[in-house]
Amino acid sequence: MRVLLLNPPGKRTYIRDYFCSKTTKSNYLFHPVDLVVLSGTVGSEHEVAVLDAMAERLDPAAASARIAEFAPDVIVALVGSVSWDEDRVFLAGEARKGRRVVGIGDVLHEASEARMREEPWLDACLHVFANGDVLAWLRGVEDVEDVEAPNVAVVGDLSRGGASAMSDEAAVERGVELGGALASGEVGPGSDPADRARGVDGIDAPGGAGTALGDDGLPAAWSAIEDMTVRGADGEPVRLLRLDRKKRKGGFRVPRPRHELFPEHGYRFSFARDGRFATVLSDYGCPYPCTFCVIGTLGFQTRPVADVLEELDALRARGVHEVFFMDQTFGVVKGRGLELCAALAERGDLSWTAFTRPDTATDDMLAAMRAGGCHTVIMGVETGESELLAAYEKGYDVPEVEAAFARAKKHGLRTVGTFIIGLPEETEATLERTLNLALRLPLDFMSLNMAVPRFGTSFRGAALAMGLAEESDLVMDQGGAEAFLPTNTLDRATMLKLKKSLVRKFYLRPGYLWRRLKDVKSPRELGRQVREGLALLRLNV
């Protein structure tokens, strides 16, 4: 099958990946790691292409034209709560052209059955990108198509009958009505999600086509799916959950990601020493339970070091020597982290950035990272309140944060502190203490995020219970372009004003600006940081 991995277009620069979404806080944009990993998996059995409309800055019309050139049978598309109102309209339009659409993203990570009932164009939701679920789903679709009549329409074909004159927006708004018309046969055979899931002419009966369907009326190949939401024989969404995501552990293997399919230009990363870089995932999920973060709900698995090195060596062969490791805590399995760093040191030509934690950033780990080519570490500071760190189950306190950043500087590493503000307990006083901590730490960069009730997190449940958010609130942005949540004492407008003030107070210090200039290693890096700095300030005036 022809499968397109799609990062859809949008009115703004959106970061959609790893079951999170936000607007960019300056103008950075890195490779969506979900699609990076899926490129190898899908490409192992199908003809695969990548279209990143964000990186290529394509508007919807241009993106649709590019999709038409490839003419995919299936689109596996990133979606995000930050861009859901745009994503659903664009993808509904592609589905109406006869393309099957599989969605992956935060807005589909929770209550996926409800989302699929609202969106008749959506054929499936992918809840794990580091396994073979997408291949099992595609095999099932192929198996059923092999026994269908050749003129049966494919999944997502909403263009039959009266639907052909309907705009994308109208199709989305009339989702429930359209779904009913499809189910009643008004639009035409093969357009109903039920027809698209089971075929026609009696093929939906278990064993009716030989081996295509199982006893449950679903394609037999889907029995290998661990965690997806699909359409059942009647077109209704069905959650196939055979392995709870929180229980994922041990190792995982995926075919080598196809980095060469992604655009050569258009990606920007504040901390990269070289403008040409790659995004690499060496482990999946996170073993820590931070309550406001979705990654800790995914379980935790590691790739064999040999597989990671194979991917890195392929990048080196293409002349790519700058890497952003998307592992949420590099070196969390210490022996494995040291082994990987030693192998990178042997190669000697890689330059990289990684996330880690204050309690993982030990002297020996930081020394190994530095020797292996790491130049920048990103660590979660979150807040200047140890009590809040404990309440949100971070597992460390402010003194540990201060010690870790001092160790990183001792080993010659640039440091980035990530912060989350706007938690329900936030006050002007706590924000002031957080700013003071940021000014006190030896930070090269500060990344400030607004608290949002991310889908799948326990923090979301708490925010709903406190009345700070509603179940129907699907569009939200942690990047800080807007304040989504009020706190117990601060309204949204005040939170946004205070957030912008924190950014200005941190970055507009003469001493800080002078240090940044002294640290620049090349004219290209200087230009990149100036552009990012100006973009950051434009968003925070």
Residues 6+ apart with CB under 8 A from 527: none
pLDDT digits (tens, 9 = 90+) for 333-345: 999 999 999 999 9
State how beta strands 227-231 and 237-241 pair: antiparallel
Give the model's pLDDT for residue 481: 56
pLDDT digits (tens, 9 = 90+) for 409-452: 999 999 999 999 989 999 999 999 999 999 999 999 999 888 88
pLDDT digits (tens, 9 = 90+) for 81-100: 999 999 999 999 999 999 99
Give the model's pLDDT for residue 199: 34
> What is the Cα–Cα distance from 220 to 149, expressed in whole angstroms?
19
pLDDT confidence bin for 9, thresholds 50/70/90:
very high
Please report, rounded to a whole number, the percentage of residues in the chain having pLDDT higher than 90: 67
Give the model's pLDDT for residue 175: 40
Give the model's pLDDT for residue 114: 96
pLDDT digits (tens, 9 = 90+) for 198-249: 332 322 333 333 458 888 889 999 999 999 999 998 999 999 999 888 889 9
Q: What is the 3-state secondary structure (H, E, C) of 478-526?
A: CCCCCCCCCCCCCCHHHHHHHHHHHHHHHHCCHHHHHHHHHHCCCHHHH
DSSP string, 228-280: EEEE-TTS-EEEEESS-GGG--SB---PPP-GGGS-SSS-B-TT-SSSSEEEE
Task: Give CA torsion, residues 362, 363, 369, 373, to 10 deg.
Answer: 150
> Which of 97-101, 161-165, 325-329, 473-477 comes out lowest in average pLDDT?
161-165
> What is the Cα–Cα distance from 4 to 130, expressed in whole angstroms?
17
Q: If 0-12 CB within 10 Å is exposed, 13-18 middle and 19+ buried, where does residue 85 land?
A: middle
Give the model's pLDDT for residue 480: 54
Give the model's pLDDT for residue 479: 55
Give the model's pLDDT for residue 190: 34
Of the candidates 275, 380, 369, 264, the one whose C-alpha atom is nearest the C-alpha of residue 325 is: 369
Query: ∠ CA(165), CA(171), CA(176), 5° rounding?
Result: 130
For residues 256-277, give the mean pLDDT.
Answer: 93
* Average pLDDT, rounded, for the chain: 86
Give the model's pLDDT for residue 410: 98
For residues 154-171, give the mean pLDDT.
Answer: 34
pLDDT confidence bin for 65, thresholds 50/70/90:
very high
For residues 315-324, give the mean pLDDT.
Answer: 98
Give the model's pLDDT for residue 210: 41
For residues 523-541, give the mean pLDDT.
Answer: 74
pLDDT confidence bin for 520, thresholds 50/70/90:
confident
- For each of the domains in the chain, give its residue range(s) and CATH number, in order of start: 2-244 (no CATH), 269-538 (3.20.20.70)
Beta-strand runs (E) in 60-148? 74-78, 100-104, 124-126
Give the model's pLDDT for residue 504: 92
- 3 state DSSP class of 475: coil
pLDDT confidence bin for 289, thresholds 50/70/90:
very high
Give the model's pLDDT for residue 531: 75
> What is the Cα–Cα distance from 466 to 426, expressed in whole angstroms?
14
Give the model's pLDDT for residue 25: 63
Please report, rounded to a whole number, the percentage of residues in the chain having pLDDT higher than 70: 86
pLDDT confidence bin for 154, thresholds 50/70/90:
very low
Give the model's pLDDT for residue 286: 96
**Helical (H) or strand (E) element with 353:** strand 351-356
DSSP string, 374-406: EEEEEEEEE-S-HHHHHHTT-S--HHHHHHHHH
Q: Using the predicted structure, report yes or no on whether residue 161 has a pLDDT greater than 60.
A: no
Give the model's pLDDT for residue 81: 93
Decide: 12 and 87 in contact? Cβ < 8 Å.
Answer: no
Task: Estimate the crossing angle of helix 60-70 against helix 84-95, to 10 degrees.
Answer: 40
Q: Using the predicted structure, report yes or no on whether residue 168 has a pLDDT greater than 90.
A: no
DSSP string, 312-331: HHHHHHTT--EEEE--SSTT
Give the model's pLDDT for residue 529: 74
More confident residue, 155 or 411: 411
More confident residue, 227 or 162: 227
162: left (phi over 0), alpha (psi -120 to 50) or beta: alpha
Highest mean pLDDT among 14-23, 184-193, 346-355, 492-501: 346-355
CA 206 to chain centroid, in Å, comes to: 37
Residue type, 278: A
Of the candidates 31, 29, 76, the one whose C-alpha atom is nearest the C-alpha of residue 49 is: 76
pLDDT confidence bin for 477, thresholds 50/70/90:
low
Residues 6+ apart with CB under 8 A from 144: 197, 198, 199, 203, 209, 212, 213, 219
pLDDT digits (tens, 9 = 90+) for 96-151: 999 999 999 999 999 999 999 999 999 999 999 999 999 999 999 999 887 554 33
Decide: 130 and 254 in contact? Cβ < 8 Å.
Answer: yes
Of the candidates 466, 527, 530, 534, the one whose C-alpha atom is nearest the C-alpha of residue 274 is: 527
For residues 275-304, give the mean pLDDT.
Answer: 95
The DSSP call for residue 149 is -
> What is the Cα–Cα distance from 60 to 345, expressed in whole angstroms?
44
Give the model's pLDDT for residue 195: 38
More confident residue, 57 or 169: 57
* pTM greater than 0.75 (yes/no): yes
